[in-house]
């Protein structure tokens, strides 16, 4: 186990921000984890997954910890489904690739989302009509304070749109060491998201396979979302706001082109990308940072940015959206 001092986190955060941490440590087992937690019991601990949903605004005064144990194993199986335990350090998209190769259905629409399996439940990652919670069975892990082990089953995780108990009450208090998924073995695909439907039509595919869906999702993402290896970003910077139906109807009267997707019986989700675009921000650049030209929900670092520049840009966008629509955007990324 290697503990590094004054470690530069540039390659560990997908915004590519040049920040450092007093200590950085990568562990691959619970034994190593226990050792590190004992050694750094008086330091601040920050748990880092793939670094693809975090905005560092300053250097970190403490120990950044990455739990990188890898491996996938079968826990159980019946004629319809399989239970797989996946260690936290597996890359999310590698796990999807494994599932698609083995014909396990349920997470294919989440293809190409960056990050690790251990981080995926924290914000209940979602895309193209699927969410992690749909296939989630349990998360195993330990409390940092006393190293007590615990399994959280789905009902105890408070999953909701881009959130869970791990993102709030248990933030930096509980480390997920593995996640158990229940995946389906028979053909069942979720193809109702607009852009997937359009792509299937274009390709003339009436009966797509599991790997067709994965490939389509990858294609859509690659066309719209910048590759963090080339242009620093964290995917969607804000969440799509949910408003009361009545409020949505009022907005539609002033802005007939507004799109809304039912979120619950009384609420509608409005694409934040659309709101931001209406405020004229799409494709705009200020210094080293900007709003992506193809997807206004993605803020980018053109190189050399400081986390605070991104934060200031985000604030300007929030102010403008509020002024025009009286809607308060909320960040999806974690700000440190």
What does 22-77 look like in DSSP terms, one character per residue?
A: EEEEEE-SHHHHHHHHHHTTTSEEEE-SSSSSEE--S-EEEEEEEE----EEEEEE
The least CB distance from residue 274 to ligand EPU, in Å, is 4
Question: How do strand 285-286 and strand 298-301 relate by DSSP bridges?
Answer: unpaired
Among 241, 273, 290, 307, binds ligand EPU (CB under 6 A): 273
The answer to whether 145 is a known catalytic residue is no
Catalytic residue at 332? yes
Q: Which of residues 224-243 bind ligand EPU (CB under 6 A)?
A: 235-236, 239-240
Is the CB of 12 or the CB of 269 nearer to ligand EPU?
269
Kindly state the smallest distance separating residue 127's Cβ from ligand EPU, in Å.
Answer: 4
Site for ligand EPU in 97-126 (CB under 6 A): none
Beta carbon of residue 281, minimum distance to ligand EPU (angstroms, whole number): 9
Spatial distance between the Cα atoms of 243 and 247, rounded to a whole number of angstroms: 6
Outline where the chain has alpha helix (H): 30-39, 92-101, 194-203, 210-224, 245-254, 272-278, 307-325
The yes or no reply on residue 127 touching ligand EPU (CB under 6 A) is yes
* CB contact set of 255 (below 8 Å; sequence gap of 6+): 278, 325
CB of 147 to ligand EPU, least distance (A): 32
**How many residues interact with ligand EPU (rule CB under 6 A)?**
17
Quick note: the x/- pattern for ligand EPU over 294-323, rule CB under 6 A, is -xxx--------------------------
- Range in contact with ligand EPU (rule: CB under 6 A) among 21-29, 145-153, 183-191, 271-279: 271-279
197: which 2 tokens? 């439907």
Reply yes or no on whether 236 is catalytic: yes
H/E run at residue 8: strand 3-8
The 10 Å CB-count burial string (b at 16+, else e) for 126-155 is bbbebbbbbbbbbbbbbebeeeeeeebebe
Q: How far apart are CA 307 and CA 325, in angstroms?
A: 27
Binding marks (x or -) toward ligand EPU, 165..204, rule CB under 6 A?
------------------------------x---------
Give min distance, CB of 35 to ligand EPU, in A: 34
CA 146 to chain centre: 28
Return the SS3 of 311: helix
Residues binding ligand EPU (CB under 6 A): 127-128, 195, 235-236, 239-240, 259, 271, 273-274, 277, 282, 295-297, 332
Q: Which residues are catalytic?
A: 162, 236, 332
């Amino acid at each position: 186990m290697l503990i590094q001092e004054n470690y530069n986190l540039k390659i560990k955060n997908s915004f590519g921000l040049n920040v450092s941490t007093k200590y950085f440590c990568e562990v691959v087992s619970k034994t190593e984890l226990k050792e590190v937690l004992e050694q750094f019991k008086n330091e601040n601990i920050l748990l880092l997954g793939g670094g693809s949903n975090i905005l560092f605004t300053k250097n970190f005064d403490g120990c950044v910890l990455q739990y990188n144990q890898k491996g996938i194993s079968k826990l159980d199986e019946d004629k319809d489904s399989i239970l797989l335990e996946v260690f936290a350090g597996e890359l999310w998209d590698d796990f999807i690739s494994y599932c698609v190769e083995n014909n396990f259905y349920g997470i294919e629409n989440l293809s190409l989302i960056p990050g690790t399996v251990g981080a995926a439940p924290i914000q209940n990652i979602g895309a193209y009509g699927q969410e992690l919670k749909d296939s989630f069975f349990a998360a195993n892990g330990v409390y940092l304070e006393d190293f007590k082990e615990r399994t959280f089953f789905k009902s105890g995780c408070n999953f909701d749109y881009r959130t869970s108990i791990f993102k709030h009450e248990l933030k930096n208090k509980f480390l997920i060491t593995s996640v158990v998924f229940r995946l389906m073995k028979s053909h069942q695909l979720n193809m109702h998201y607009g852009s997937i439907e359009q792509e299937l039509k274009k390709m003339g595919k009436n009966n797509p396979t599991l790997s067709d869906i994965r490939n389509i999702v990858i294609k859509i993402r690659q066309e719209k979302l910048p590759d963090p290896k080339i242009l620093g970003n964290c995917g969607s910077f804000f969440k799509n706001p949910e408003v009361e139906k009545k409020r949505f109807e009022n907005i539609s009267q002033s802005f007939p082109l507004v799109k809304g997707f039912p979120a619950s019986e009384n609420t509608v989700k409005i694409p934040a990308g659309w709101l931001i675009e209406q405020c004229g921000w799409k494709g705009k650049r200020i210094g080293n940072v900007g709003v992506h030209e193809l997807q206004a929900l993605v803020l980018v670092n053109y190189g050399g940015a400081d986390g605070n520049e991104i934060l200031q840009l985000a604030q300007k966008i929030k102010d403008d959206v509020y002024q025009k629509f009286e809607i308060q955007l909320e960040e999806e990324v974690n700000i440190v």
